[in-house]
Amino acid sequence: MRSLLAMAAAALLALPAAAETVTVFAAASLKTALDEIAAGYSARMGDDVTVSFAGSSALARQIQAGAPADVFISANTDWMDRLEAEGRIAAGTRSDLLGNSIVLIAHGEVPATDDIAAALAQGRIAMALVEAVPAGIYGKAALTHMGLWDRVQTRVIQADNVRAALAFVALGEAPRGIVYATDAAVEPRVSVLATFPPDSHPPIVYPAALTADAGPEAAAFLDYLKGPEARAVFDRLGFSGPGD
């Protein structure tokens, strides 16, 4: 009997540990990168990574309402600041992960230009929500800095997130749009007309952190996001380092 019990115990110890699931709430502009990174992490570590993509504002509000997220990656510091002030971010886990730039895009193949004002002289302009979603906030700030916002605001089509704004232009529903450079790079149906000067808008920063309710397995994925494998994916897709 003792021998049978010992064999049973040894068999149980030999079983692989059950896979854990890490739930990530991430800004929509990270979709292409995080889909690849999450798949690589799961293959290497065995844990499942589920990523929910949306505008940073919508994701932050879901966390405020108690949504079960382990990791939050915002496309600006403001929404992370709000969650941190409310105690919804695990202390000491926040860091700046990435940077980016915003660009003016057009449907189809259109030559680049140095005259953003002329490129926006007519037609609708797709942008993420300009008062809530980071890409829209950055875009409005840039247009305001350049003295163009009052001239174009009535022609702006606001989308729930930056990938939705990108889709408007890709499908030809708006001839122009303002998105991140990394979004434009993965959509062959649009072309980049111009890049907005970095000093025309607040610095684009993607902070990442564990939520206050994160499981222990989430810390390993957050560390992976800062490591060389993930960094190689981010670099290849055009993201900059924080502060670059």
Annotated binding site for molybdate: 29, 56, 135, 162, 180
As annotated, the binding site includes 29, 56, 135, 162, 180
Determine the Cα–Cα distance for residues 235 and 216; give it in Å rounded to an integer.
28
Identify the CA nearest to 106 among candidates 90, 122, 94. Answer: 122
Phi, psi at residue 238, to the nearest 5°? 100, 5
* Residues forming a β-bridge with 48: 21
* Residues forming a β-bridge with 195: 103
Q: Which helix (H) or strand (E) holds 50?
A: strand 48-54
Handedness of CA 20, 25, 27, 29 (dihedral sign): positive
Cβ-based burial of 10 (10 A; exposed 0-12, middle 13-18, buried ≥19): exposed
Q: Which amino acid is at 125?
A: I
